[in-house]
Structure 1
């Protein structure tokens, strides 16, 4: 494995939101993701979190360029527990950078590909298409049979501009009126999804038309909940400096293919590819080696 350290660009940085739940330490995931961002993208990371989550990562605070402590909105309930994913609209005001990568903490940065997003738009871009590893035939998700294809809030690039500000202000409005938009677009409301909020907000700002430069031109790669992913080797902490890591870039994807009550294991190897891990337990497994 070779590790290339890239020169930091002061005006650029990443922004991570992480609030612990009863099941997962999202702040710990943010530490791991920030380290990979520094290693592969060479940009600093700001963490948005709360006091309780912050207490769980005290030895690792130096990982972050800045830490912003907010009071999270815990009104989103999923599987009988608080799922703290509201408030992403605050990213525009909270980001200390001129150009920001807003990334979910369960997205595994495994290359320098995301640096290209800064050249795609003067204001904003996100993913409009996905690829599900081991399920190439999977169709693109729609909010409902009667609505738009889903846009993805997993990775967003935005630059301080009036248009980007308008998008995030509209996202706040959509979050505050989510049940209305759920009825309007015929999807199930209740649990707020950033992906749906983003889809609606961007369509409103664009007058319900498509602006091609808003879309990242490569697919968002998902490792689905019924698919497993394992690191081929462990990450290595460089002894001379505890803040440096030599990260593994090779992974094995595994899927149980059932046919006529029999199972056949199917495997795929990937290298230098970014991917979103939908199963949080698998992400924790990668993180902990």
Structure 2
């Protein structure tokens, strides 16, 4: 249970931060590229099978509304106003999760950071889903 993902904003001492799931394996320097890109908040848009045996296309959307799925497995953020707004939205969505589950048509339990991150970015970008940058 990791409903405290939104606290990353409050506890980071850095101007740029990468938040990783504890079961995420880093086996290259690819994440360093995040520090060179211009966006204030990023996460993955697609899931990939590292063994390339299974298609994960079914995970590209969620809920009855088929909202594009952004993954909270890896988050990059800068301590900027936009990133702060996204983290504030994540907290609001977490605190009112039943409402958002009803609104978008997904299960109320368990709490999913991925869903909160997706909805927060959607709100922050004015529901223009193609405008949301991703890793």
Q: Taking structure 1 as the reference length, what is the TM-score of the superposition? A: 0.44
Match of 2:88 in 1: 169
Q: Could you tell me which of 51, 55, 74 is aligned with 1:155?
A: 74
Query: Which whole-Å deviations, capped at 9, do the CAs of 1:165-192 have from their partners, x for residues lacking one?
Result: 0000000000001011011111111210
Query: Which whole-Å deviations, capped at 9, do the CAs of 1:39-67 have from their partners, x for residues lacking one?
Result: xxxxxxxxxxxxxxxxxxxxxxxxxxxxx
Q: Which has the higher helix share?
A: 2
Q: Sort the Cα spacing of 1:169 and 1:163 in 2 relative to 1 into closer, same or farther, 3 A.
A: same
**C-alpha separation in 1, matches of 2:11 and 2:26:** 22
Structure number with greater Rg is 1
Which structure has the higher relative contact order (CA within 8 Å, separation 6+)?
2
- CA drift of 1:103 comes to 0.7
What residue ranges of structure 1 are gaps of 5+ in the alignment?
1-83, 217-289
**C-alpha separation in 1, matches of 2:110 and 2:30:** 32
Q: Considering only aligned residues, what root-mean-square deviation do their CA atoms show, in Å?
A: 1.5
Work out whether residues 41 and 83 of structure 2, in 8 Å CA contact, stay in contact via their aligned partners in 1: yes
Work out whether residues 122 and 132 of structure 2, in 8 Å CA contact, stay in contact via their aligned partners in 1: no
Moved more, 157-166 or 131-140: 131-140
Matched residues, number: 133
Match of 1:186 in 2: 105
- CA drift of 1:136 comes to 4.1
Q: Which has the higher strand share?
A: 1
Match of 2:18 in 1: 101
What residue ranges of structure 2 are gaps of 5+ in the alignment?
none
Structure 1 residues 82-93: aligned runs within 5 Å: 84-93=1-10
**C-alpha separation in 2, matches of 1:121 and 1:169:** 21
